[in-house]
């Protein structure tokens, strides 16, 4: 019986991993993007022969079918799992499918010399890779001399200390936060960086400590210039309160499934400490509880690996888009390949405002459940190149794509076109851009160096639809902005800016989570002013709210107080279950022994509202101004 239970748990764990699919695993084996589809295999896709792929490729080489995300794992998939999804010598030398060829021989690395992101030798790069999990005919194979298979160049080591560096780590945790019985909750936690022995350290890498797998959607970590007061450490910190007590405007890192918080090569460090003006952190966490299950607790946290041995360079970052919230923007239902693309003309300067160069290390993409493909194209002069695209992308596998082997330096005048492609075939209604997992987003973020350089984008966003077999690269040449019905000026990365063409006024009744504390004031202003109603466009209070109404921001409260008969009201998106918290007992998980840690007791953000004055017009404007701080802040 015990053995059956262990087997059941193992099968459940495997199903949880594999059904989600991890396309990034292809980067962890040689020729992972160039495996020929076996005869009769299911889930094969046409290859890009101009990029050196065979006519038909197998992407899911560890799965039952070549499409991936299918169980059970094949023999190679089981071996890859055994070696922690790493191309080790042991995995390379195994013959997983017992066809007489080792895994390395089948994938073009017979002498087991390749490692992640190495530039392959001419032999490996042109080898016709066969499937290591499906038996192939071994006759006729001639093993080459190892000298001809050695990588042309070795990749930079990521997320590792150099031998001469002092190694330290700190762990910080959320302490038994009771996740509300609501579909979506945003809440901020205050923690202090515990090491004060020096004024400057370099972070080598940082990783999540995930304990609420079913509820934690993502978090963003902001660096703060001051230590939190003792009575705030380990407790919730609201955005308004944060601004009065601290300055937390520096993005330190972010986590979503499949992504480290910070990822650095051997010469690059993320600065932390008083000299870097980061001595504390604000964790902006996003929890999901779609079934509104009570008594769920978070003891999640993060671990920072850092050194007082300073590295030669410090990291910085920029984004071509972080489109996150726009209730008037959405992915229409029933579309197989609906795209959002952004034209990014770069302006690169140093901290003195002088022309500079930005060296690129990684790119990371973010979308929600409809995201399927991500593309980035770089144009420098007359040359255009693929700049870290992912033609197969999944929400659960938001990895940092290593661009160091490309050795790219950006400067003013360069152009980047980034595109998110969505599949909404199973939807019957438009999916708006918003904060919930069931909404959508589109991000493309680049990390690089030196730390005193800033890269900024200018350019429009537009939408359209790709045909089934149409390539994602070169999209802007075939689907021009002027032909799109939906164009935004891109002046604000978080919401797309002002709409320049077309109309997506299929507005949804929406409760913007971080704005709920200010909704009563806005509603009171509408009640007091006969010229305002539930359909009033809020752009008169600020251009950034162009296209928004009270219903697209404060749905539930507006429907109850001023718009009970409005057609949009039945679509209210947020409802919560009230629970006597005394019925729940906190499920505490102590920090790891010997770790540096801070705990945080939290409550739902936005619980307090702005007082309503008798001067409703001025108060409404002030309330909208406060709301803007939320709408344009980091998500």
Residue 288 per-residue DSSP state: E
Q: Spell out the alpha helix ranges (H) of 73-166.
A: 75-82, 89-93, 103-107, 122-126
358 φ/ψ angles, rounded to the nearest 5 degrees:
-115, 120
Residue-wise pLDDT for 497-527, tens only, equals 988 876 555 556 777 665 676 788 888 888 8
How many Å apart are CA 521 and CA 557, to the nearest integer?
11
Both tokens of 42, joined, read: 């299911």
The kind and range of the H/E element at 629 are: helix 616-631
* First-last CA distance in the chain: 47
The pLDDT value recorded for residue 465 is 96
Work out whether the CA dihedral 457, 458, 463, 465 comes out positive or negative.
Answer: negative
361 in Cβ contact with 403 (< 8 Å): yes
261 in Cβ contact with 253 (< 8 Å): yes
Strand blocks (E) in 437-517: 442-449, 453-458, 461-465, 487-488, 499-501
How many Å apart are CA 173 and CA 3, to the nearest integer?
34
User: How does 198-232 read in b/e, with b if 16+ C-beta sit within 10 Å?
Assistant: eeebbbbbbbbbebbeebbbbbbbbbbeebbeeeb
Fold of 168-314: Jelly Rolls (2.60.120)
Per-residue HEC secondary structure of 528-587 comes to: HCCCCCCCCCHHHCCHHHCCCCHHHHEHHHHHHHCCCCCCCHHHCCCCECCCCHHHCCCC
The pLDDT value recorded for residue 503 is 57
How many Å apart are CA 459 and CA 47, to the nearest integer?
32
Residue-range domain boundaries for the chain: 15-148, 168-314, 316-501, 513-572+605-631
The pairing of strands 268-272 and 313-314 is parallel
Same fold, 168-314 and 316-501: yes
> Which residues, other chains included, contact 291 with Cβ-Cβ below 8 Å and sequence gap of 6+?
none
How many Å apart are CA 406 and CA 77, to the nearest integer?
29
The pLDDT value recorded for residue 513 is 61
Query: Using alpha carbons only, how large is the chain's radius of gyration in Å?
Result: 26
398 in Cβ contact with 256 (< 8 Å): yes
Q: Cβ-count burial of 600 within 10 angstroms (0-12 exposed, 13-18 middle, 19+ buried)?
A: buried
336 in Cβ contact with 468 (< 8 Å): yes
Angle (CA) 333-335-338 rounded to 5° is 110
How many Å apart are CA 334 and CA 425, to the nearest integer?
4
How many Å apart are CA 308 and CA 198, to the nearest integer?
7
- Helices vs. strands in the chain: H and E counts, helices first: 11, 29
> Which residues, other chains included, contact 201 with Cβ-Cβ below 8 Å and sequence gap of 6+?
168, 195, 271, 272, 273, 306, 307, 308, 310
Spell out, as residue ranges, where the chain has pLDDT lower than 70. Answer: 1-21, 239-240, 258, 502-508, 512-515, 517, 540-547, 570-635
The pLDDT value recorded for residue 544 is 56
CATH of segment(s) 316-501:
2.60.120.230
**Nearest to residue 417, comparing CAs of 461, 482, 373?**
461
For 603, half-sphere exposure in the C-beta direction (CA atoms, 13 angstrom radius) is: 6
């Amino acid at each position: 019986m015990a053995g059956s239970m262990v087997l059941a748990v193992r099968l459940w764990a495997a199903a949880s991993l594999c059904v989600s699919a991890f396309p990034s695993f292809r980067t962890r084996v040689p020729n992972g993007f160039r495996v020929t589809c076996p005869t009769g295999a299911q889930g094969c896709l046409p290859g890009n022969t101009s990029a050196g792929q065979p006519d038909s490729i197998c992407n899911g080489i560890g799965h039952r079918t070549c499409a991936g995300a299918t169980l059970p794992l094949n023999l190679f998939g089981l071996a890859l799992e055994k070696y922690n999804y790493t191309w080790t010598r042991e995995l390379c030398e195994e013959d997983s499918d017992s066809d007489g060829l080792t895994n390395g021989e089948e994938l073009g690395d017979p002498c087991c010399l390749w490692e992640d992101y190495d530039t392959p030798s001419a032999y490996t790069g042109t080898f016709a890779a066969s499937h290591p999990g499906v038996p192939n005919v071994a006759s006729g194979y001639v093993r080459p001399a190892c000298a001809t298979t050695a990588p042309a160049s070795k990749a930079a080591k990521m997320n590792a200390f150099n031998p001469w560096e002092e190694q330290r780590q700190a762990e910080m945790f959320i302490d038994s936060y009771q996740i509300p019985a609501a579909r979506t909750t945003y809440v901020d936690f205050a923690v202090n960086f515990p090491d004060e022995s020096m004024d400057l350290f370099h972070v080598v890498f940082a990783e999540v400590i995930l304990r609420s797998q079913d509820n934690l959607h993502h978090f963003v970590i902001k660096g703060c210039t001051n230590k939190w007061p003792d009575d705030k450490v380990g407790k919730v910190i609201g955005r308004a309160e944060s601004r009065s007590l601290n300055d937390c405007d520096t993005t330190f890192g972010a986590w979503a499934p499949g992504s480290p918080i910070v990822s650095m090569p051997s010469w690059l460090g993320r600065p932390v400490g008083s000299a870097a003006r980061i001595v504390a952190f604000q964790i902006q966490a996003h929890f999901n509880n779609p079934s509104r299950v009570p008594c769920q607790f978070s003891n999640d946290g993060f671990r920072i690996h850092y050194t007082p041995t300073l590295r030669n360079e410090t990291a910085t970052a920029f984004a071509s888009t972080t489109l996150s919230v726009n209730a008037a923007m959405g992915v229409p239902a029933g579309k197989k390949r609906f795209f959002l693309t952004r034209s990014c003309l770069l302006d690169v300067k140093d901290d003195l405002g002088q022309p500079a160069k930005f060296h690129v290390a990684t790119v990371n993409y973010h979308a929600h459940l409809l995201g399927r493909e991500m593309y980035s194209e770089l144009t420098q002069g007359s040359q255009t190149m693929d700049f870290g695209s992912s033609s197969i992308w999944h929400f659960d596998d938001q990895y940092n794509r290593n661009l160091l082997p490309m050795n790219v330096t950006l400067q003013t005048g360069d152009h980047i076109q980034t595109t998110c492609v969505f599949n909404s075939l199973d939807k019957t209604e438009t999916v708006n851009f918003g904060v919930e997992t069931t909404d959508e987003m589109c991000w493309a973020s680049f990390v690089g160096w030196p730390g005193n350089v800033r890269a900024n984008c200018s350019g429009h966003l537009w939408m359209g639809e790709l045909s089934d077999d149409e390539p994602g690269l070169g999209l802007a040449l075939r689907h021009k902005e002027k032909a799109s019905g939906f164009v935004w000026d891109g002046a604000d990365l978080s919401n797309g800016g002002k709409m320049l063409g077309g109309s997506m006024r299929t507005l949804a009744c929406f409760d913007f989570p971080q704005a709920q504390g200010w909704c009563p004031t806005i509603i009171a202003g509408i009640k007091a002013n006969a010229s305002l109603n539930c359909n009033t466009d809020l752009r008169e209070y600020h251009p950034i709210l162009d296209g928004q109404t009270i219903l697209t921001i404060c749905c539930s409260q507006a429907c109850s107080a001023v718009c009970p008969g409005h057609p949009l009201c039945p679509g209210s998106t947020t409802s919560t279950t009230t629970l006597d918290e005394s019925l729940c007992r906190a499920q505490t998980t102590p920090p790891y022994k010997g770790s540096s840690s801070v705990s945080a007791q939290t409550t739902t953000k936005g619980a307090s509202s702005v007082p309503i004055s008798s001067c409703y017009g001025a108060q409404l404007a002030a309330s909208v101004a406060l709301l803007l701080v939320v709408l344009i802040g980091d998500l």
